[in-house]
Structures are given as structure tokens and as C-alpha cells.
Structure 1
Amino acid sequence: MSGICEGRVVVVTGAGRGLGRAHALAFAAEGARVVVNDLGVGLDGTPGPDSPAAQVADEIRAAGGEAVAHGGDIATTEGAASLVAAALESYGRLDTLVNNAGFLRDRMLVNLDEDDWDAVLRVHLKGHFLPLKHAAAHWRAEAKAGRTPVARIVNTSSGAGLLGSVGQGNYSAAKAGIVGLTLVAAAELARYGVQVNAIAPAARTRMTERTFAETMAAPAGGFDAMAPENVSPLVVWLGSAASAGVTGRVFEAEAGRITVMEGWHPGPTADKGARRSPAEAGETALKLLAQARAPGAVYGA
């Protein structure tokens, strides 16, 4: 029986471990040929001794699927371009890009070094932009040649990007930026047959195990609510042709729960029709805030 991604070629970044590995295996199980990208770095972004991308590709092939490994740095133009090239050279096409790569360098803001800020923004935000840019350029060329693709991009944000997270100013800013990038890309790329969505997952990975060590432990039996594999079915569906018409959306995915996130919408408003004094502006703001929905709590506050 064919899976919902039969015949599709899928690229997954940061696919050597955790969520990315789960996504790669899930796509392969649904018939996709997978390009498994991972730079093989540690939790803080420093180089590691092994090649997790090759291990995952081997795992897919051992199960009867098709996969190739890619170890390039997708936060560089060269690495992102070679990632798209790897799909085209290996399988002759590219249908889905899943941007997942990232790492943490957590600090309270007053202790956050510029290097830690730059490193996290580079991998999460630039590491989403560059693969997206190169994949989109390929799909635009295909569309202009009369071969409009059924293309999909799935970006990875976080609850930290939606609500903020204490001690993660760099990570929260990057993940919030990914939401903005997703909305712009969905609007710009629709004409070329490309749908762009984002997920805000919660699962037990290397990046979360220290933060949620007690609540995210794997159970002795039964449903493992925090297993990264729980997030992958939604990602696979978003990356498939079956998700036609769904674009510019952000989904939370955790355990068996899927939530469509509703972003900024105008709330209570007041228009004087003329300039206010600072005191008047403050009085009006307080009245409007009393009518407005309270924002969600910042994680860790």
C-alpha cells in the first residue's frame, strides 16, 4: 500500500537526532525518498565526533527506503545550495523541505554574550532562510518553465517563539522570526505552487531534556506523550500533496494534541480622530487593556 508521500523527495535539516530523525523516518515510511541533513554538532553547536546523518540514512535504507546523507552547514549559502543540489542530483527532483536544525545557548539576558546571540540566530533563523531561499528559487524556475510543483515547506518554530521563554531570549527571538518568515514565504511563494507552514512542537529531545527532565521522562509502558515521533505525522501530512490549500499557518503539536495557533489580530481599539496628549494616550491604553484578552504566560515566568 502506497504512503501519502509516495514518489516525493523530502529534505529534512537537523535530521540526525530528535525531531528531525523522527521526521525523516516518518517520511520514508510513507514512501518518500529522503535527504538527511545534519552537521553532527553538539547541543551547543560545536562539532561532534560522529555522523548522525549517515546513521539515519542507513536506518532508512535498512528498512527498505531510499535516503542519502548530507553533512553541509545549511546556515551558509554554499551549504544550503548543496543541500538542494543533493536532492536534485540524487533523485532528480525536490518536493518538500523541512527546516528543523537548531541548538541552544541559554542565558538570562544580562548574561547573554553577543556570540551566543549570533550563533543561535544564525542556525535557527538564517538556517531556515537559506534552504528556503534555494529551494524556492528551484521551484520558481520550475513554475516558470511550465512545471508548477506541488511543493511544501515546513518550518520549526516553538512555544518560546510564540510566548517567550525566560533564559532563552536568543532562541525566542529566532523562533519568533521563523513565524514571520513563514508568513512572508507563504504569501510570496504561493504563485509558484509552494505552501509554507510552521509547527511549534513539544517533545523530548536533546534540546529539551534538561528543561523538562522530570515531566518528559519516557514512561515504563503505554503512550509516550513526549516522544518526538508524535509530532512527525502532522509534519508528514503538511509535507504531502494531501495538505492542498493549507499555507501560512502555525500549528502546535505535542503528544496527541494538535492546535491551530491564531496570531496577531486587532483587539479593542479607540479612535479619537485627533492627536492625544501622553496622559490621554495612557488613559485610553489602560481602558483598552482592561477589555483585551490577557496574553499567554511566558515559559518559566
Structure 2
Amino acid sequence: MDAIRWEGKTLYLLDQTRLPVEEVWLPYTDYRPVADAIRTMVVRGAPAIGVAAAYACCLAALAGEDLEEAKAVLAASRPTAVNLFWALERMAQTAKSCGGDPEALIAEAVAIHQEDVEMCKAMGLYGSAVVPEGANILTHCNAGALATGGYGTALGVIRAAHEQGKVNMVYADETRPLLQGARLTAYELVADHIPATLIADNMAASLMAKGKIDLAVVGCDRMAANGDFANKIGTYSVAVNAHFHGVPFYVALPCSTIDLSIPDGVGIPIEERDKNEVRTLYGVQTAPAEVDVYNPAFDVTPHSLVTGIITEKGVIYPPFQENLQKLFG
């Protein structure tokens, strides 16, 4: 399963706003609509945003447009996922060394894409080792093939564990307000024939209290140097509930999601989205139009609630700051 394709001189994105009802691939030959696609979550998930932005830089180069301007437009699309800025900087460095040659930039974007898939597979292999036999796993939002170059971070761990016959059931939080768990994670799990049960976000603690969750694993949009991390809103609640009930809580991410320039989670910028995402549900009004809304896309989970950090280089345990620095500093 994938969500990003480069064919000839065209970028194709699977429109994730239409899943699971429709599978629609949208073509892009201009970087500006790609920035809009990132902003409107046609493509979403930190690694996938980075890959899409890399290919968008190629579109700008093919059109003979100013690459610095393209970089600025793409960088303004979403503020939290650090992979976006990591990929744009990598493409900018390539542009400097190759004089903006489109073919060299395309080769670099393809490399970013392929490396992400390989990192996810390595993460899956390392992460599957922490999954017990017959595991019931909880995950939040979507950190699968749709959110990455392919295979997935948190869902990559689940996929690998399933391939080893370890998974009894995956419980997927629906993930309000945009239902990425219901629309996307459930879609991936069903497509891969992995046992899955969809739950509302407010049901997770009840399952933990009944001993029905063996571990939780989630993705990440940006991790600070001390192991604090931002992920889809509601992740912090999962971590708090897991801590209270003694359920191991893991976060899976590639090195490109680690931002060692930020000391702790306080410095992670948190995107706030349109208030109508909460007032309505797919065009149906569910709250008074006049009511005010607080709609952050992400929350920050402190490292003290994290059992381990699953990366492409292995599983990191406390002290996180010291061990992250050793592997990625």
C-alpha cells in the first residue's frame, strides 16, 4: 500500500480525505497545489509530508521556478511535522550542489522516498521484538503506509508483529475530529487482513482497565531532544491512561522526525486548525455555529510516560536524552 507515486514528471497523491469510501489519485505538475494538498490533508503524516514536499521541489525545478520561493511556500503549509522542513532542507542542499538540475533533484526525492520505506521496515523489525505473543495492541490516529513513504511507523511495528503471528487484535482509536483512525488505520488493517476493532477515543481507558490492552504504539510528528514528542491530538490521553494502568507505551519514528534543536516539548510548535472541523462532521453540523472551538491538531506527550522509542536503529530506552544523542546527535 502506498499514498505517493512519481511517474514521469508528475506527482500523484492518494486523496486521503476521500478514504475509505473512494480511492482517488490526484495528479500534480505544480508545487503550489501540493502545498495546498499538505495543508488540507490530502496527504498527511509526518514522513509522507516530507516525501511529498521533496517531489514538489522537483515540480518547481522542472518548471524553471525559483526553488527558494517554492521552499518557502511548502514550509508554510503545516508547522508541526519536522520531516517537512528536514526534506526541504535536504532538497535545498541538493539544489545548491547540482545547480538546480531537475534530474538530480528527482533522484534525491526518490532516494528520500525509498529511504523512508526502508526505515519503516527496519522500525517494524525492531519494534516487533517488544510485542508479546497473542498481543492486543492499541494505536491512535494513522501512522501506517498512508502516513509514510510506505509500510508505516507504528503500523509498521504492527505489520511486522502480525507477519510473525504475534497479533491477536489491534484496537484503533477513531481519532476525532477528522477520524484518521476510523477512516485510514481501519482501512489499512482491513486491507492487510490484520484483526482489527475500531473504538471511540474515549473507550481506550476502559479497555485498559479490563486488561484487554497489552501495549500501545503510536507515531510521531516531532520529537524533542529529551524524548518529549508531538503526535495527533489525543495521544497524550492514551499515554496517561497507559501509565496509570501499567500498559507499555511505545512511540515509533524515523530519525528525520527527531529535532535535537528543541530541548523539550515546550518548544514544539502546535498547529491549530479550522474550528469547523469540530463543529461539523463531513458537512453535517454537530454543534451550534456560534460556539467557540479549540482545535489543536497535536498534543505533546512527556518522555516520562514513554516506555521506549522505536527507531530504524533500534529501540531506545531511558535516559532518552542521552541515548537519542548517542544514536542521532
Q: TM-score, normalised by structure 2?
A: 0.35
Q: TM-score, normalised by structure 1?
A: 0.38
